[in-house]
Amino acid sequence: MHCVRTAAVIALAFVVLAAGAGADAAATGDVAAATAAASPGQPNYQGLWWNAPAGSESGWGINFAHQGDTIFATWFTYDTSGKAAWFAMTAQKIGAETYGGKLYATRGPAFNAEPFDPKAVVATEVGTGTLSFSDADNGTFNYAIGAVNQTKAITREVFGQLPTCTFGAAAATGDVDSNYQDMWWNSPAGSEPGWGIALSHSTPNWASTIVAVWLTYDLDGSSMWLIATGPYDNGMFNGYNGTLYRTSGARFDAFDAHNVVTTAVGEMSLYGSWNDGNTRLFDYSVQLPGMASAVSGTKTLTRQIFVAPGTTCR
């Protein structure tokens, strides 16, 4: 819970193939073919970040999936009415330890829609963002949305021993070596672009914790994020369990942590084979306000590779 009181190549092949590896392009799920070399000695910023100093604005965060010279950022925050909302950005390297791109907001099929229809996902450009890093653990996030132009000091969220992430490292296949810190989406890759789960994972596995931010859509199609913190469960099949929380009350342009209201809305489990570190099963049971009963489902997840061969954390 500390993370709640503490969540386009993907922005859009998650939704639309955005300005990476090419240009603002039409909808596609084929991001695995993109290639880009990371600068020699470049730090990797993959993981969960929040306002600095740590704990000063509990209730929002930003996840980075960092592959090559591209960062896919998912900013989980609140709209001006106080409703939880998320924005996505594919940020290309534009200078020394600086990345920039366009911010998108999306609408799509409700989290429990079966089948999920990618054609119903609509992405809207709402602004721009710039990430600048002073070292491997600290930086700033500037965003311009409409008349709002603000800069936040950001730092990694430390919820355990954090892994070291390296672009291009050989992917781990077994449980002992696998770390799941990455952006994940429905398997097979590209089959349900428009939603995803950002996993932040401490190490070592047998004593680890996963923070999962599920980037999806509310019953009315507006963006929605749910967050869970799950410790390693020795009784599960290489799994993690946690309570899913929904938050509300704050707003991105005038954030006040005292206004954040947290509500438990369900449960989630992440688990999978001991021998496959690149596939997970995601079970959920969710009952939002206004729903007569809980809805349960299972999704098979795979890592989202938008710059081959991807980033490995250990």
Burial annotation 169-183 (CB, 10 A radius, 16+ → b, else e): eeebeebeebbbbbb
Q: What per-residue confidence (pLDDT) applies to 24?
A: 34
How far lies 230's CA from each of 104, 109, 224, in Å?
29, 26, 20
Peptide bond into 188 cis (omega under 30): yes
| Residue position matching structure tokens 């070596």 | 177
Select the more confidently predicted residue: 204 or 287: 287
In contact, 6 and 156? CB cutoff 8 Å: no
* 106-120 confidence digits (pLDDT tens): 999 999 999 999 999
Q: Which residue has the tokens 């509310």?
A: 218
Do residues 199 and 180 touch, judged by C-beta distance below 8 A? Answer: yes
Topology (CATH level 3) of domain 165-313: Lipocalin (2.40.128)
Q: What is the sign, positive or negative, of the torsion defined by CA atoms of 231, 6, 11, 244?
A: positive
pLDDT at 256: 96
In the structure encoding, which two tokens stand for residue 258, read together?
Answer: 């005292």
Going 307 to 228 to 241 to 179, the CA torsion angle's sign is positive
Of all residues in the chain, what percent carry a pLDDT higher than 70? 84
CA distances from 216 to 27, 28, 86, 111, 290 (A): 18, 18, 9, 6, 18
What pLDDT score was predicted for residue 36? 52
Q: How confident is the model at residue 243 (pLDDT cuts 50, 70, 90)?
A: very high
Reply yes or no: is the peptide bond before residue 115 cis, omega within 30 of 0.
Answer: yes
Mean pLDDT value across residues 235-253: 92
Asked if 145 contacts 130 with a C-beta cutoff of 8 angstroms, the reply is no
The dihedral over CA atoms of 202, 203, 206, 209, expressed in degrees to the nearest 10, equals -10
Query: CB neighbours (10 Å) of residue 123?
Result: 20
Amino acid at 97: E
Q: What is the mean pLDDT of residues 128-153?
A: 98
Q: What is the pLDDT of residues 56-98, one digit of tens each?
A: 999 999 999 999 999 999 999 999 999 999 999 999 999 999 9
Answer yes or no: is pLDDT of 3 > 70. Answer: no
For residue 109, give Cα distances in angstroms to 54, 184, 282: 34, 18, 18
pLDDT at 13 over 90: no
Mean pLDDT, all residues of the chain: 88
- The tens digit of pLDDT for each residue in 247-288 reads 999 999 999 999 999 999 999 999 998 788 899 999 999 999
